[in-house]
A and B are shown apart, each in its own frame.
Chain A
Amino acid sequence: ETGVTQSPTHLIKTRGQQVTLRCSSQSGHNTVSWYQQALGQGPQFIFQYYREEENGRGNFPPRFSGLQFPNYSSELNVNALELDDSALYLCASSPQGREGNTGELFFGEGSRLTVL
């Protein structure tokens, strides 16, 4: 069974640029969530995708956007990067969406973004 994989693992951008982060969900998991973890903080929910539709969104501005593809992989896009966007971006998959899931999330290794 393949776990959650993310790419790239590390990247450096400058303020104002755009970034795309990618995630492949664990085999059999149809729901993907993205979290932002700043240094010394717990992960903060960005949004979730279930069957290619956004299924919930946290308190993040519209310049954070995403996609989910038919194979359940996903992208996180961030436009107009700001210094405070520097963080570890975590993708997590879960086996069920909508009602009835247990809430368990399985995380990838993350993409560490540094904005200069």
Chain B
Amino acid sequence: QKEVEQNSGPLSVPEGAIASLNCTYSDRVSQSFFWYRQYSGKSPELIMSIYSNGDKEDGRFTAQLNKASQYVSLLIRDSQPSDSATYLCAVNRGGYSTLTFGKGTMLLVSP
């Protein structure tokens, strides 16, 4: 079982729709969870972090964490073509800032 699993996609949504990106992780002691956005040919950019169960909202982005189910998700409301990118889920066991990444989900937002 891979440590962090994501559907590779592509996930295609029309402009204005809600995009839902999902991630599962295997290490139950994981404490910190992150979503990075990576445009083609560019480096990952941190867009959301979440540390406790529940929802965390930041603008059009909402991160959801369920530690019992070992599940993290990212919702993007009012999706824009500029949101088209690969979204990487990453987890951290705490203490040291060593992240384990999934392979990423490609999101395509069509005008």
A26-B102 Cα distance, complex, nearest whole Å: 25
B45, B97, B101: the one contacting A31 at CB < 8 Å is B97
Give the tally of cross-chain contacts (CB within 8 A).
Answer: 71
A2 within 8 A of B: no
CB-CB contacts of B97-111 with A at 8 A, as 1s and 0s?
111111110000000
A60 to chain B, nearest CB (A): 13
A48 within 8 A of B: yes
B31, B94, B99, B102: the one contacting A105 at CB < 8 Å is B99
B42, B97, B103: the one contacting A94 at CB < 8 Å is B97
A72-B92 Cα distance, complex, nearest whole Å: 22
A43, A45, A55, A110: the one contacting B88 at CB < 8 Å is A43
Instruction: Tell me the residues in window 76-116 of chain A with beta carbons closer than 8 Å to chain B beta carbons.
Output: 88, 90, 94, 96-110
Chain A interface residues (CB < 8 Å from chain B): 31, 33, 35, 40-45, 48, 55-56, 58, 88, 90, 94, 96-110
Task: Tell whether, in the assembled complex, residue B49 and residue A55 are in contact, meaning their CB atoms are under 8 Å apart.
Answer: no
Task: Tell whether, in the assembled complex, residue B97 and residue A104 are in contact, meaning their CB atoms are under 8 Å apart.
Answer: yes
**The 8 residue pairs across chains A and B that have the minimum distance between CB atoms:** A42-B101, A103-B92, A103-B32, A107-B43, A94-B97, A101-B97, A110-B43, A42-B103
B96 contacts which chain A residues (CB < 8 A)? 48, 55-56, 97-99, 101
A109 contacts which chain B residues (CB < 8 A)? 42-43
A45-B46 Cα distance, complex, nearest whole Å: 16
